[in-house]
Amino acid sequence: MPAMTPLHRLPRVVIVAVAVVVLFGSIWWFFVRTPSVPANIIPVSGRIEGDESLVAARISARVRSIAVREGDTVVKGQVLAVLDDAQVRARRAQARAALARAHAQTHASQLEISILRQQLKQRQLATGQARLDTNGRIAQAEAQLDSANASLALAQAQADAAAWQLKARRAQLAQSRIAVRQARLESEGRVQQAREDLASTQATAAQADARFQQARTDDARYHQLLANDEVSQRDAEHFHTTAIAARAEQVAAHRQVEAARGVLTAARALLSNPSVRKLGVSAAASQVEQARQEFLAAQAVVSEARGRRAQARATLTSTQAVLTNPAVRASQVRSVEHRIAQAQADLSAARATAQEARARVEESEADMRELRVLAPFNGTIATRVAEPGEVVGPGSIIVTLIDMHRLYLRAFVPEGEIGRVKLGAGAHVFLDSAPRTPLEAYVSRVDPKAAFTPENTYFRNERVKQVVGIKLLLKGGFGYAKPGMPADGEVLTGGAWPGQEPWR
């Protein structure tokens, strides 16, 4: 029986080979080998996303201020931006004035209908009492005269309101002219300041000229002394350098003089600009002219009301002459009925006008509330689109807002496995910063249609596969997960989560 070979006498190559095999096997087992995923788990990959809210203005206005910037955390109802309210206030005042006029017209029409109905009743009674209604006809004519007086009073009130508006427009014109004078004074102040700056720079330039002349004289003198070997080369170079620096200082001083002259020229041009003198005056003058036209129209209405009053007086005078004529009395009844119908039509029109004016007032009040742009929910400002001073229109985006507590992993599942994914199913999300720490989530959405793999996939064979998009809404990890971060996930299709995760 042959003797056994001791271990230390084995060939060294065999020992090294065994060691290498063991090493590579360990590396493959622990680092290269892909663990098997449990059957009730579907692994996915994607990016963290959040639903953005485009916070926009509902009306057209100029942005007065914006209280937030990118990255700021806001709460629901917090003021994000404030819009200028000048135009909205003007529209509200106009709507309220129109509503007041509509109410006045409604009241006048109701009063006229009441008077006309009284007149109609009196005329109907007078038809059967041809000889006994003289006093009633006179009272009827007097009521008509009273109605005309009421119409005249209403027209006069409207004329007074137009006169007050004309006075207010003239006051605005005076304020505009004061603003023009203020602009003129500011322009003159800038011209005076530019003159003082020019004088200062000219004085500095004169000093620089003097220093350069002195330095040039010293340079020439020392150059001559150097030629006669009376001074050293170093002294001569020092004065030559001094002359060069004085020349540069002289050039810079003269450039400052030219710049100051340019500023003075610009200030004088602004002072002589006709737009400075006419700032705002044209607009105020046109408003004054419009108010004057409205006042003239109101005076025309007053003149018309006075004519109706004169006609009512004439009717009162002629009533006694036609009392005994039945045809005339019947015609008068029909005339009153026609006037009642016309007054009722005017009343309906006045009520419609009042309703329209009330709607405009409510609209202006709603616009006033929309001047303060509020946060619709708690979130974080993603982008700030508008800036103070910009004019935004209806629907113009001011900021974009993201709810950082409603983030989700947007991922895609192969079409063949989407049937295993249910809404509300449990899920885990793993961030690259903490690949071993699962974040609790659940399936909040499954796309209704399949699509091809997104275009950002690098391999063509992967892009042509049919997949279905899903959303894994996070239950935690707020503050760590941020939109745009790549992440992995896993969806539980049934049963319970395994006790350990050897496949990750």
Q: Specify the pLDDT at position 73.
A: 84
Tokens linked to 60: 């057209």
Q: DSSP strand E in 57-197: where?
A: 61-66, 73-74, 79-83
471, amino acid identity: K
Instruction: State how far the Cα of 143 lies from the Cα of 138, in Å rounded to an integer.
Output: 9
Identify the sign of the CA torsion 29, 34, 38, 43: positive
Neighbouring C-beta atoms of residue 332, cutoff 10 Å = 21
Structure tokens at 436: 């071993």
Beta bridge partners of 79: 374
Question: What is the pLDDT, as a whole number, of residue 72?
Answer: 85
Task: Write down the number of H helices and E strands in the chain.
Answer: 8, 13
CB under 8 Å to 299, separation ≥6 — which residues? 159
Helix (H) / strand (E) containing 400: strand 397-414
pLDDT score of 442: 92
pTM of this prediction?
A: 0.40
**Residues 6 or more apart in contact with residue 71 via CB below 8 angstroms:** 380, 381
The values of phi and psi at residue 168, to 5°, are: -65, -40
What lies within 8 Å, CB to CB, of 435 at 6+ separation is 488, 504
Please give the torsion angle defined by the CA atoms of residues 166, 170, 173 and 175, in that order, rounded to the nearest 10 degrees: -120
CA angle 442, 433, 47 (to 5 degrees): 50
- Picking from 435, 291, 348, 420, the residue whose alpha carbon sits closest to that of residue 109 is 348
Print pLDDT tens along the chain (504 aa).
Answer: 444 445 455 567 777 777 777 776 666 555 544 556 677 888 888 888 888 888 888 777 888 888 888 888 888 888 888 887 777 777 778 878 887 888 888 888 888 788 877 877 776 676 666 555 566 666 777 777 777 787 778 778 777 877 877 777 777 777 767 766 776 777 778 788 888 888 888 888 898 899 888 888 988 888 888 888 887 888 878 888 888 888 888 888 888 888 888 878 877 776 666 554 555 567 667 777 777 887 788 788 888 888 878 887 787 777 656 555 555 566 767 777 788 888 888 878 888 888 888 888 877 777 777 778 888 888 888 888 888 888 888 888 888 888 888 889 898 888 888 888 888 888 999 988 888 888 889 998 888 887 776 645 544 455 547 888 888 889 877 778 888 889 989 888 877 777 655 445
Sheet order of strands, 79-83 included:
372-374, 79-83, 61-66, 391-392
